[in-house]
Amino acid sequence: MSDATGDNGLPTVGVLMLDTAFPRPVGDIGNAATFGGRVLYETVALATLDRVIDGDVTDPALGRAFLPARDRLVARGAKLLTTSCGLLVFHQALMAEGCPVPFTASALLALPTLVARHGPVGVLGMEGRSVSAAHLREAGAPGDTPVGGLRAAAHLPQVLRANRADVTLDPALATADVLAAGDDLVAAHPDLGAVLLECTNLPPYTAALMRHLGLPVYDCLDWLRMVAAGQAKGDGTPCGAAPAQKEQTT
């Protein structure tokens, strides 16, 4: 993540939020400081963690529940729209239809652009089972794209699953969780040219993971910048411009 709190090259972003209560540090898509304050939020009451993570995320009724909030964000002045969960990739077409500003449901839609740039790209979700072959195919990526997640006993997933504002998030433990997940992914797939973080709660740890792995690591904020810069359309279709090379940090 190149700049979470300053001039990040984004217009006013509108975020369709899941109905959650867990803590969101700077870098998380749900923290306004991540966008330097240039962000608008609308919470979708029907979009609970249980429904999106453990239920049928492909349910068209779930996608339709986002449409009134989408329209309110546009009316409030949002110039680029997204969601707070990459697993909503199945609803890209529904939520983009008739939307007068660019809309992208998920960082997973960056995969065709990133693979063209870097070769094999691995995906990290919050949980290993979160990102399925169906999610990947919906994003225009091969169903056998390498996928990893945080370990079952990790601190960060437990905090998010608790879904309570009074449950403390330990930044050091959360960072260690993400680095360990990155190690696991690269150990299983040593030919990776880059890593993409599907989960919008993971950008606070992007820079640390990039330094740790010595590989380019992209997140939902990078994907929003690509769309805003015209390097790809919100549905992942390339616009003809090559994405900016993300520098490796050692």
Domains of the chain and any CATH numbers: 13-106 (3.40.50.1860), 108-221 (3.40.50.1860)
Contact (CB, 8 A) for 146 and 175: no
Placement of tokens 């991540």 in the chain: 34
Closest CA to 180 of 124, 220, 132: 124
Per-residue pLDDT tens over the stretch 172-190: 999 999 999 999 999 999 9
Write out residues in the chain with pLDDT < 50, as ranges: 1-7, 241-244, 249-250
pLDDT of residue 240: 59
Distances (CA, A) of 103 to 50, 72, 79: 24, 14, 9
Per-residue pLDDT tens over the stretch 25-60: 999 999 999 999 999 999 999 898 888 888 888 889
pLDDT of residue 177: 98
Closest CA to 61 of 37, 75, 44, 38: 44
**What is the distance between the alpha carbons of residues 53 and 87, in angstroms, rounded to a whole number?**
8
Name the pTM for this structure.
Answer: 0.90
Please give the distance of CA 168 from its chain centroid, rounded to a whole number. 22
Tokens of 142: 């091969």
Residue 57 identity (one-letter amino acid): V
Contact (CB, 8 A) for 9 and 211: no
Beta-sheet strands, E only, within the chain = 13-17, 39-43, 80-83, 103-104, 121-127, 147-150, 194-197, 217-218
3-state secondary structure of 181: helix
Reported as half-sphere exposure (CB side, CA atoms, 13 A), residue 192 has a value of 27
